[in-house]
Structure 1
Amino acid sequence: MKESKRLELTDTELLVGLAEGSNEVLLQLYRRYFPMVLHFITSNSGSEDDAKDIYQEALVLLYEKAKSGSFELQAQLKTYLYSVVRRLWLKHLAQRSRFMVRDVEQPVNEEAALSQLSDDLFDHEERDRQFDLMAESLGRLGEPCKTLLEDFYIQHLTMQEITEKFGYTNADNAKTQKYKCLMRLKRLFFAEYKEKR
């Protein structure tokens, strides 16, 4: 009875629990994120069994990363899992289309399908690259900006909580500081982005 009243675990607690092989964590990961995976895969030419297989594969990859001890989550766990699932599914679809048997009545345009998958993979890799650059830029931002932005966008602290944590006189001052930090981050990101294109 106690377990059902257990508060939702944080992303960090989920990763630690997964690395330790906790059944409670596995149940929570399935309850929280499998519906999203099921929706994505069934909306993209897959079945419920495909969704189960792909999610299992994604969790194994996440387990291996969590177990390594050196894994640092750069986004919300939900976002990370979605990204892994999407990549695995696109790879699966690409392999499936290679071995697809053509129906005489309705030929499959494999070239168009592969081109679309290739575009999707490119878009996904570009987004991954942008996430990595954003994480690098955030790392170079310096304090207190780095912590302030992480508190607001990742930890979801309110402006009032940030005001108290950083000792600002009021929430408006905290908002102004957050805006300035965001502009600095934007400049760092775009300078890196242009340089690495």
Structure 2
Amino acid sequence: MIKDSYSSDNELIKGIIENSDEALRQLYKMYFPSILQFVLNNNGDEDDAKDIYQEAIIVVYDKIKSGSFELNSKLKTFIYSVCRRLWLKRLKLMSRSAGNVTDFQDFIPVEDDLERHEEKDAQLNLMEGALIKLGEPCKTIIEDYYLHNQSMQEIAEKFGYTNAENAKNQKYKCLMRLKKIFFQSSGKTEEIYVRRS
């Protein structure tokens, strides 16, 4: 049954886990006014508040969907805390004053969640850059297989390989090159395992 409104934090979280568009819409609308007030009173404007709120909702959504989300406070407090941390960080980057922050409600430390989110974000950006450097046909082969869920047979036909096995070997070579570019650009040396399916 699709609900058209969620009366508690737990119901809202359950709605998000169940991919309810309405739960996500409600999450977007419910807590924005207090974030807008916070950002406006701390050297920001409405566009800044929308940006920060969007980013915070992504953090919260990812955390809920990962299954590791434990609500130890009100959802409003958690979202406010994420927005607060993101905004203070942005003020610091823009060299705007974050000296005396005016708070409108309680907040909790959320450093770990944001560190993980930022790290994941940075990794995705590096991976995107590595894909661009990889060039064709590798870039398209990898995107077709991993992002568009095409079969090796479809890829073989598209690129004119004699069979799916040849296409699979080409994809594997492409992945090895991608891995090399990724680790060169990230400065990391740790091993990642690539599935050969």
Give the helix-richer structure, 1 or 2: 1
Q: TM-score, with normalisation over the residues of structure 1?
A: 0.49
Q: TM-score, with normalisation over the residues of structure 2?
A: 0.49
